[in-house]
Structures are given as structure tokens and as C-alpha cells.
């Protein structure tokens, strides 16, 4: 080996040693979070991007998370003018009787008292009053069975085809009286985490003002000739025992039955967006009343510690989609939740097949695009169905037409 070649090798070795190490991977591996629950999800409520999921397609009992659907439809009735917050409702003897059982409800209702829609709405959201939810459902549809049919129809229009919805409260049918449910007498409402996420996105998209109600740490409800203050069942709210500074939860709904276990759908602002957390059937001792909230905190912390809401596209940027030659012009800045060291230039895009995606222009036409290679993808969020009934015109036979002609003469 000549002297020149030896010197060359020495210099090359020194250069390699002093050069920074280049990370050839797009993403540094993010450890799985420790979430003790049957099914879990965290997603961005604005874009529908899934940040983390576990058993998202598994159908599970949902308990009072049912009330998100119920109160969506009640909110819709109020907004449409079919129901006023000042309207007075009186419970049936069966509904009032249920409020005497600590296992089934909390706010007391009396058959000789009338309660405003607003008070019942607060009670159903904040402390999950079953009888309050049933009274509102009955007012919207005339009876509870008809309301359950409306719930089912609404979910089908959102692409949720295999929902098991039997009542408006979320209790097991065995805890209810005749006329309060559909289905078998021991049936329970069941959905997947994917389904729950679609429902939550719909209500937050259409009625974000419900957060003014769900963020209340307490509320006052009439009881007899006096009033009583109730504390929210959401223990993550500021002022409640599981609150943590920096994690400002302002919703959404607890769910508890023997089948459902302890479940919770939460939501909180994070960065310049809003995160929704879903924890179904949290693991732990039956006596541990905080387990679903600890699991939720772990999930929110996992998102905050491991992901950044990065700007991946700028306004008016040209985008070439997969397998297409022509370009789309982006209408606004686009953000995605990505690990900090993720190379956003490695993202690829295509035309969205669902109602999700960011708006672009292509030949003056608005087209939604979506990232096709994000880690967990997006919610299965189809467009709402428009059901058109086609009436078939029946071709009558010549003999039938002649007979009909003579019949009409007399």
C-alpha cells in the first residue's frame, strides 16, 4: 500500500468520526403508551387524524356514553326550535321512581314538580341523570321507543351500520321499565371506539357550544322547595380531584355499567387544535373510582410528550397527488400530529374518499386531499347519506287499461 493511499484512509477515518450521525429513519420509534383499558383512541377533532388507537373496531358496551347521541338530538331539537330551554317537563311515575335508586341516578325528580329543559339538559350532561335524558328524549319524539329509532337512523346516516342501540340512557334494558327501550330485556347499548369517535366529531363539529355545559365543574338543580349543588362526574375538570394543570379538559362524558366498566370520553385543547380521548372499560379494582381518569391522563400525556402539531403544507402550495400528473393548489395551511423528528416532506397525498381532508383547488374545482401514509390514518368518517326513495312505475297490461277505462265511465 503506497503512502498516498495510507494518508487518504487516515483522513477519511477522521472525517467520518467528526461528521454528525445522520438519522436515516423518518421517525424515531415512539414507545407504546401504558393505557390499561379494553379499547382506546386519541384523535384530532378538527381533522379526524388518529394519533393513537387500540382495539378501535372492537364493539363494547358504552353505558352513559350513549347520552352523547341522545343529547346531540336534543340539542338539534332546541336549535331547530322544536324545543325551548324554558319548556317545563314533568316526570312519569316510573321516571321519578328511578331517581330514588342510588345505582340508577342522582338528581331527585318528583311527579308533582315540573323541570325546565335547561335544568334537565344540564343534569343529563354533567351528572349523567338517566331520568333527565329519558324525559328529554320523550319530549323530542313523543315516546322513548320512537326516540331510539331516531338514534338508530341518525347513526346509519353517519355510516355506523351495526350499532346496538336499545335505549336513550345507556342503562341495561333489565334496569328499565316497559316502554323505555327496544330489543331484548337484557340488551345493552354497544359501539366500537371508531363509532364513538365519529359521533363525537359530529357533535363537536355542529354544536361546539355544548362544551360550555360539559366544562361546568358543578351546577344547581331544583330539589323539592329548595336547590342542591351537584359536582360534575368528570373528575378531570379544573376544581375536581383528578385535575392536572396543563391538561385543561372541558368535556365530555362518563359511562358506567357492569358490562361497560368505567369508561370516559374526554376532550381538551392542545396546541392549536383539540384532542379527543376515548378510554373504554379501564382496568383496575372495582373500588378504584379514578382509574378511567388516570388512563385518560396517561393517553393525553403520551400525545403531548411524543407528538407535535406540525405545519406540513402552506397556503397556496402546489401538491402533486399519488399517481396523478396534475397539481392541486392548497387553500390553507395544513397541520398534522407527527413525532418531532418526522420528515414532513416524506408525506404523500391523495384525493380523500371520505368527508375528511383539507381543501384544495384543481381547475377551479374544490377537491379534498388527505395524507395517505400517516402512522394511524384517519377516522372512518363517511359523508352523511342522502336517502332517496325511488318509486317504480308499474307498466299496466293492455287488458288492465281497457278494464280501468270502462270502470271509470260509471
| Count of CB atoms situated within 10 Å of the CB of 274 | 18
Contacts of 66 (CB under 8 A, 6+ apart): 165, 167, 168, 169, 170, 189, 255
| Count of CB atoms situated within 10 Å of the CB of 322 | 11
Residue with cell 311515575: 93
To 5 degrees, how large is the angle CA 108–CA 196–CA 134?
25
The helix-helix angle for 130-141 and 117-126 (nearest 10°) equals 130
To 5 degrees, how large is the angle CA 193–CA 274–CA 256?
40
Kindly give the pairing relationship between strand 59-61 and strand 88-89. unpaired
Determine whether the annotation assigns residue 253 to a binding site: yes
Is 348 catalytic? The answer is: no
Is 201 catalytic? The answer is: no
| CA nearest to 249, candidates 276, 280, 286 | 276
Residue 202 · residue 195 · CB < 8 Å: no
The helix-helix angle for 117-126 and 67-79 (nearest 10°) equals 150
Angstrom distance (rounded) from CA 241 to CA 83:
35
Catalytic residue among 38, 128, 192, 215: 128
Instruction: Copy the grid coordinates of residue 26.
Output: 423518518
Is 54 catalytic? The answer is: no
Catalytic residue among 38, 45, 54, 67: 67
Residue 64 · residue 254 · CB < 8 Å: yes
Angstrom distance (rounded) from CA 385 to CA 327:
30
Angstrom distance (rounded) from CA 147 to CA 169:
11
The strand pairing partners of 116, in sequence order, are: 88
Q: How far is CA 181 from CA 167, 189, 302, in A?
A: 5, 11, 39
Catalytic residue among 38, 64, 141, 169: 64
122, containing H or E segment: helix 117-126
Question: Which are the catalytic amino acids?
Answer: 64, 67, 128
Q: Which residues make up each annotated binding site for substrate?
A: 253
Amino acid at each position: 500500500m503506497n503512502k498516498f493511499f495510507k494518508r487518504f484512509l487516515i483522513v477519511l477515518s477522521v472525517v467520518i468520526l467528526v461528521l454528525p450521525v445522520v438519522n436515516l429513519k423518518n421517525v424515531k420509534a415512539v414507545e407504546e403508551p401504558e393505557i390499561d383499558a379494553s379499547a382506546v383512541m386519541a384523535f384530532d377533532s378538527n381533522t379526524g387524524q388518529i394519533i393513537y388507537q387500540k382495539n378501535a373496531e372492537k364493539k363494547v358496551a358504552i353505558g352513559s356514553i350513549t347520552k352523547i347521541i341522545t343529547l346531540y338530538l336534543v340539542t338539534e331539537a332546541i336549535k331547530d326550535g322544536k324545543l325551548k330551554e324554558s319548556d317545563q317537563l314533568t316526570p312519569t311515575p316510573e321516571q321519578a321512581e328511578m331517581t330514588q335508586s342510588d345505582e340508577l341516578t342522582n338528581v331527585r325528580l318528583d311527579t308533582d314538580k315540573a323541570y325546565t329543559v335547561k335544568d334537565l339538559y344540564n343534569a343529563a350532561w354533567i351528572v349523567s341523570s338517566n331520568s333527565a335524558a329519558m324525559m328529554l328524549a320523550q319530549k323530542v319524539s313523543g315516546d322513548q321507543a320512537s326516540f331510539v329509532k331516531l338514534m338508530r337512523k341518525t347513526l346509519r346516516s353517519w355510516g355506523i351500520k351495526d350499532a346496538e342501540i336499545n335505549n336513550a340512557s345507556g342503562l341495561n334494558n333489565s334496569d328499565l321499565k316497559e316502554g323505555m327501550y327496544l330489543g331484548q330485556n337484557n340488551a345493552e347499548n354497544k359501539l366500537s371506539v371508531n363509532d364513538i369517535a365519529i359521533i363525537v366529531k359530529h357533535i363537536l363539529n355542529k354544536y361546539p357550544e355544548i362544551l360550555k355545559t360539559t366544562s361546568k365543574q358543578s351546577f344547581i338543580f331544583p330539589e323539592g322547595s329548595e336547590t342542591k349543588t351537584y359536582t360534575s362526574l368528570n373528575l378531570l375538570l379544573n376544581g375536581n380531584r383528578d385535575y392536572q394543570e396543563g391538561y385543561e379538559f372541558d368535556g365530555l362524558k362518563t359511562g358506567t355499567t357492569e358490562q361497560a366498566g368505567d369508561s370516559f370520553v374526554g376532550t381538551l385543547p392542545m396546541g392549536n387544535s383539540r384532542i379527543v380521548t376515548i378510554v373504554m372499560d379501564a382496568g383496575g379494582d372495582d373500588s378504584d373510582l379514578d382509574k378511567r381518569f388516570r388512563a385518560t391522563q396517561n393517553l393525553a400525556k403520551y400525545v403531548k410528550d411524543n407528538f407535535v402539531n406540525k405545519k406540513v403544507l402552506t397556503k397556496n402550495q402546489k401538491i402533486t397527488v399519488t399517481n396523478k400528473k396534475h397539481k392541486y393548489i392548497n387553500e390553507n395551511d395544513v397541520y398534522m400530529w407527527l413525532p418531532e423528528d418526522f420528515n414532513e416532506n416524506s408525506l404523500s397525498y391523495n384525493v380523500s374518499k371520505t368527508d375528511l381532508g383539507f381543501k384544495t383547488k384543481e381547475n377551479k374545482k374544490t377537491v379534498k386531499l388527505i395524507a395517505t401514509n400517516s402512522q394511524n390514518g384517519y377516522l372512518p368518517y363517511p359523508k352523511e347519506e342522502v336517502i332517496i326513495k325511488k318509486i317504480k312505475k308499474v307498466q299496466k297490461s293492455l287488458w288492465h287499461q281497457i278494464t280501468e277505462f270502462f270502470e271509470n265511465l260509471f
